[in-house]
Amino acid sequence: MHPVEPEPTAWALPDPSEAPPGTDVIGIGADLVPGTILSAYRRGLFPMDVERGGPLGWWSPDPRGVLPLTGLRISRSLRRSVRRFDISVDTCFTDVMHACADERRDHGWITADFIDAYSRLHRLGWAHSVEVWNPAGDLVGGLYGIEVGGLFAGESMFHRERDASKVALVALVDRLVQDRSQLLAAGRGERLLDVQWVTDHLASLGAIAIPRRVYLERLAIALEIPPLLAAPIDR
């Protein structure tokens, strides 16, 4: 099933290709309705407050962090962790967002407005979560993001047990590479896993930084690829 397309945005969002090199925030304002958020991702932008409690910013980092789908680094200990947990997709999206928004975490930016906005996108089939469960049935890790065509824009992840967020990432990549050979054989390019910035943690897993220009070129290709996770929950 295809996700439900919302009403188009009423805003003229900025074009990242016209932004000065090295800038990250290229727009201020607008809103968090589904049409605006989707328009942003299709242009290479994502929303995040400029500072906690500050104005809404539209970000297009230069350079941009991406995780090559064939470049995920899985250590021996992480492989053992993968076998210890159970994985699900889209079973408790809002719970995952709340866990990612834990105010005890540094640099918290996921406010109630963001939870409401992305939960609406989840109900329309655009936002997705990967959940990690321990043997006792407790939610101990996960991640969420937006899928538009062949783009998966990872937004945040959390863990309550060692390696649980990494296990969620492994599960996501496993899902996203399942049709890679068919896409390449058909000359359609590759899916794009956007991680926004390359932190030390993400770099250890194989994330790399690419110029914004290159990101936008890859985004244009990815948007022409059908989504893998999309399935509307309700209208």
The answer, as to whether pTM is greater than 0.85, is yes
pLDDT score recorded for residue 52: 76
Residues with Cβ within 8 Å of 159's Cβ and at least 6 positions away in sequence, in order, are 132, 140, 141, 165, 166
Can you list the domains of the chain with their CATH numbers?
A: 23-61 (3.30.70.3550), 65-222 (3.40.630.70)
Q: How far apart are CA 211 and CA 63, in angstroms?
A: 4
Could you list the pLDDT tens digit for every one of the 235 residues in the chain?
Answer: 689 999 999 999 999 999 999 999 999 999 999 999 999 999 999 999 998 778 999 999 999 999 999 999 999 999 999 999 999 999 999 999 999 997 665 556 799 999 999 999 999 999 999 999 999 999 999 999 999 999 999 999 999 999 999 999 999 999 999 999 999 999 999 999 999 999 999 999 999 999 999 999 999 999 999 999 875 444 2
Going by the DSSP 8-state scheme, the letter that residue 158 receives in this structure is E
∠ CA 216-221-65, nearest 5°, is 40
Largest CA distance in the chain: 51
Q: What is the reported pLDDT for 119?
A: 98
Task: Please answer whether residues 183 and 163 qualify as being in contact, where contact means their C-beta atoms are separated by less than 8 angstroms.
Answer: no
Distance CA 95, CA 129 (A): 9
- Strands 127-133, 56-59: pairing is unpaired
pLDDT value for 177: 94
Task: Please report the beta strands in 60-163, taking only residues with DSSP state E, as ranges in sequence order.
Answer: 64-66, 86-89, 127-133, 139-148, 151-159
What is the C-alpha separation between 85 and 107, in angstroms, rounded? 28
Looking at residue 53, its pLDDT comes to 74
Query: ∠75-78-83 over CA atoms, to 5°?
Result: 135
